[in-house]
């Protein structure tokens, strides 16, 4: 398995609270992605990064922000969590060998009450 960890793996929070999810990789891959997965919607890209401090929005970026201050870490922040952000969040990485293959982390299950 690619060296990708996500933390926390499970989180329950209340509406209106800030939440930060962390993705950590040991593969020195250039590209990192945050997806959310919901029944009936498949995988939807939230934000992605193509290098340190280089990030861009995906298709469902509203309510989310990201930061990447070093190659190995990509943080996803929900500034003020809402119940619609209850989901499973996956981090992915790609780019070491010039292929487009994305390697996924184990996911974080977030419940916003």
CB of 84 to other proteins, least distance (A): 19
* 76 lies in the binding site for other proteins (CB under 8 A): no
Out of 10, 53, 70, 100, the residue judged to bind other proteins by CB under 8 A: 100
CB of 80 to other proteins, least distance (A): 27
Q: How far apart are CA 81 and CA 58, in angstroms?
A: 18
Instruction: Give residue for tokens 């398995």.
Output: 1
Q: How far apart are CA 61 and CA 49, in angstroms?
A: 13
If the CB atoms of residues 63 and 104 are measured against other proteins, the closer one turns out to be 104
* 25 lies in the binding site for other proteins (CB under 8 A): no
Out of 36, 46, 90, 112, the residue judged to bind other proteins by CB under 8 A: 90
Instruction: Give residue for tokens 């184990």.
Output: 106
CB of 104 to other proteins, least distance (A): 3
Pick left, alpha or beta for residue 79 (phi over 0 → left; psi -120 to 50 → alpha; otherwise beta).
alpha
Out of 7, 16, 26, 41, the residue judged to bind other proteins by CB under 8 A: 41
Contacting residues for 87 by C-beta, under 8 A, at least 6 apart = 36, 37, 38, 110
Instruction: Give residue for tokens 């020195």.
Output: 28
Residues within the interface to other proteins (CB under 8 A): 31, 40-45, 48, 50, 58, 90, 92, 94-95, 100-107
């Amino acid at each position: 398995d690619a060296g990708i960890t996500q933390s926390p793996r499970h989180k329950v929070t209340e509406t209106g609270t800030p939440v930060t999810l962390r993705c950590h990789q040991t593969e020195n891959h250039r590209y990192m992605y945050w997806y959310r997965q919901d029944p009936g919607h498949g995988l939807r890209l939230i934000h992605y990064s193509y290098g340190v401090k280089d990030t861009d929005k995906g298709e469902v970026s509203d309510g989310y922000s990201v930061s990447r201050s070093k190659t190995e870490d990509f943080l996803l922040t929900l500034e003020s969590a809402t119940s619609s952000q209850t989901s499973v969040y996956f981090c992915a990485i790609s780019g070491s060998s010039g292929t487009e293959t994305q390697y996924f982390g184990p996911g974080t299950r977030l419940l916003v009450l």
